[in-house]
Amino acid sequence: MKADGAAMQRRVLTFMQAAPLAAILIVFLLLPMCVIVVVSFFDYNSVQIIPAFEFTNYTDALASSVTWETYLNTLRYTLIVWAVTTVLGFIVAYVLAFEIRSRTAQLVLFLVCTVPFLTSNIIRMISWIPFLGREGLLNSTLIKLGLIHQPLEFLLFSDFAVVLAYTHLYTLFMVTPIFNTMMRIDRRLLEAAIDGGAGWGRTLTTVIIPLSKSGIAIGSIFVVTMVMGDFITVRLMSGGQRSSVGLMISNQISSLQYPAACANAVVLLSVVLIMIAAILRIVDIRKEL
């Protein structure tokens, strides 16, 4: 009887510990998602939303070539930004974890990487405009040096500007988990690899990268989800000349087309979940958590 009572107390204590977080997730995550799913089946016109159960919003979205082009463009941005941030994040994390010996110096340099996050995303994006503009600092400098004779048009309001802004905004989300993973690597493994005759390149590919996969996976999830759902970066840095799924949903909300926006949000969520599931199938991150 005492054992049963102790087991019951542990279950109650566990429930009480999990209940606050579960309640927050239900109220602020699960319920809003359920509302979005329900509204996605509603009908609407120019003045009202009509409760119904029909698949018009989904058929209109999935049958439209514009929607497919928008999703492909968003996926293109996501893959490019993921590749760039992975390379940059890995390099920065490697330098911090293995080249900087002092823990104090590691902490200071890591905090330096976080300084840009003390300002808003919009301010950081806008700061690129006077630098990349037709008569901006970069073009002016290149012309004065005689390296170019005409301003480079592709620097601003282009795909290049969008990818650059994304990279600026989200690289730290790749640096942090990779750095955390690298700091957990037993340095004796590196010494053993070197003693076994492995050079720097072989040690990197056979020891460091495999042991950093969980950090890369976590960073990939961060970057993929944020780029797929972003809309303000594409709007500002492309000058309204490019599109993304997030921007399309934002425009539908601005036009009071809430059911259509909800349908696209459900489709976008499904695509993102599939991408995350693919990442989790490739890399087991449970040991990192």
Domain enclosing residue 156, as ranges: 64-282
Residue 55 lies in a domain: no
Q: How many domains does the chain have?
A: 1
CATH code for the domain in which residue 209 is found: 1.10.3720.10
3-state helix, strand, coil in the chain (%, to 5): 75, 0, 20
Q: pLDDT tens digit string along 222-233?
A: 999 999 999 889
Would you give the DSSP letter of residue 145? T
Helix (H) or strand (E) holding 49: strand 49-50
CB 133 within 8 A of CB 156: yes
In a domain? residue 130 = yes
Determine, yes or no, domain membership for 30.
Answer: no
Residue 96 lies in a domain: yes
Whether residue 34 lies inside any domain: the answer is no
* pLDDT for res 127: 85
- The band of 275, judged by pLDDT with boundaries at 50, 70 and 90, is very high
Q: pLDDT tens-digit profile of 136-172?
A: 888 899 888 888 888 888 888 889 999 999 999 999 9
Residue with tokens 């048009």: 153
Query: Is position 189 within any domain?
Result: yes
Who's near 259: CB < 8 A, 6+ residues apart? 39, 40, 41, 42, 43, 44, 49, 57
Buried b (16+ CB within 10 A) or exposed e, 83-103: ebbbeebbebbbebbeeeeee
Determine, yes or no, domain membership for 18.
no
Task: State the chain's mean pLDDT as an integer.
Answer: 87
Residue 106 lies in a domain: yes
Q: Is 252 exposed, middle or buried (0-12, 13-18, 19+ CB in 10 A)?
A: buried
pTM for the structure as a whole: 0.87
